[in-house]
């Protein structure tokens, strides 16, 4: 089949080179496919972690509202107003999550 040992070594070298190129290409394509399949999970994770971070940071009413000081005084007199707004916010988040879940169940 081969006339000299150099031709045989040359053939074997090209064969292993081709196999290596194919495995590299297949691995790269598999990595891209897995990356694309993971994008929805990454999006949901980034959204939830970003929301959780921004929801858990305590903000002063002046950062949240652009109302007159007289109106803000009324809200400041309500006991535990910041805790109440936090609970209402999480409640709305849970209700919205259930609504989205129900819509996805219908699809």
Amino acid 79: pLDDT: 85
Compute the distance between CA of residue 8 and CA of residue 17 in angstroms, rounded to an integer: 14
Q: Name the pLDDT band for 69 (thresholds 50, 70, 90).
A: confident
Residue 58, SS3? coil
Task: Check pLDDT > 70 for residue 65.
Answer: no
The structural domains of the chain, with segments of one domain joined by +, span: 1-43, 58-107
Task: Check pLDDT > 80 for residue 67.
Answer: no
CB 55 within 8 A of CB 94: no
Amino acid 72: pLDDT: 75
Compute the distance between CA of residue 70 and CA of residue 65 in angstroms, rounded to an integer: 12
Amino acid 35: pLDDT: 92
Diameter over CA atoms, the chain: 99
Q: Name the pLDDT band for 22 (thresholds 50, 70, 90).
A: very high
pTM of the predicted protein model: 0.41
Question: Per-residue b/e over 70-101, b at no fewer than 16 CB within 10 Å?
Answer: eebeeeeeeeeeeeeeeeeeeeeeeeeeeeee
pLDDT per position as a tens digit, 29-55: 999 999 999 999 999 999 998 888 877
């Amino acid at each position: 089949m081969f006339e000299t040992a150099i031709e045989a070594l040359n053939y074997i070298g090209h064969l292993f080179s081709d196999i290596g190129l194919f495995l590299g290409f297949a691995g790269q394509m598999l990595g891209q496919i897995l990356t694309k399949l993971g994008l929805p999970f990454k999006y949901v994770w980034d959204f939830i972690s970003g929301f959780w971070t921004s929801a858990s940071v305590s903000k002063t009413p002046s950062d949240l509202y652009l109302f007159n000081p007289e109106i803000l005084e009324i809200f400041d007199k309500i006991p535990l107003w910041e805790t109440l707004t936090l609970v209402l916010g999480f409640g709305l988040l849970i209700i919205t999550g259930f609504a989205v879940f129900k819509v996805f169940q219908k699809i």
